[in-house]
Amino acid sequence: MADDDLAARVADLEDLEAIRALKARYARFCDNGYDPDGIASLFADGGVWDGGALFGRREGLEVIREHFRGAPARIPWALHFTLVPEITLEGPPGPQRRASGTWYLWQPCTRRSSNGTEWQAWLTGTYADTYVKAGGAWKFETVTVDARWLSGPPPAEMPVR
């Protein structure tokens, strides 16, 4: 194996791990009261967070930050499980590399109505993200969430097959 091939393979593995760590930081910021500055710091300039019909689309860092400032009023507690990533790196390793990825979302949480009533809820769905490496660090270019509320918890007992 040529040294160049090994270096490229190692760079690929480092990039994949950095993207996984980026998504983990996103989940932790969300689970820490939807930290608006923390979440916005993960996006590239001009980034987009798109929550679809359920949560709306936000373009630009300040607009993303403002959206997440209001999130705890609607979801005061959440625990984001981002699972089963499929990440595709584009082009050769380098300082301006791009990538895309999908993840499953499983999120137990507490919802709050406009009158202050709170109840346990479950949010599930998928993420479709694009990433860009700028200045040596991976950032979100887009985060698209296709989510839906479950009407109740999963069954306590699974059916026997």
pLDDT tens digit sequence for 92-105: 998 889 999 999 99
pLDDT of 160 above 80: no
Token pair listed for 134: 């700028």
The strand pairing partners of 86, in sequence order, are 102
Pick the CATH number of 3-150 from 2.40.50.140, 1.10.1130.10, 3.40.228.10, 3.10.450.50: 3.10.450.50
At residue 67 the predicted structure's pLDDT band, cuts being 50, 70 and 90, is very high
Q: What is the pLDDT of residue 94?
A: 87
- pLDDT score of 73 more than 60: yes
Which residues, 6+ apart, have CB-to-CB distance to 50 below 8 Å?
Answer: 57, 58, 142, 143, 144, 145
**pTM: predicted TM-score of the whole model, two decimal places:** 0.91
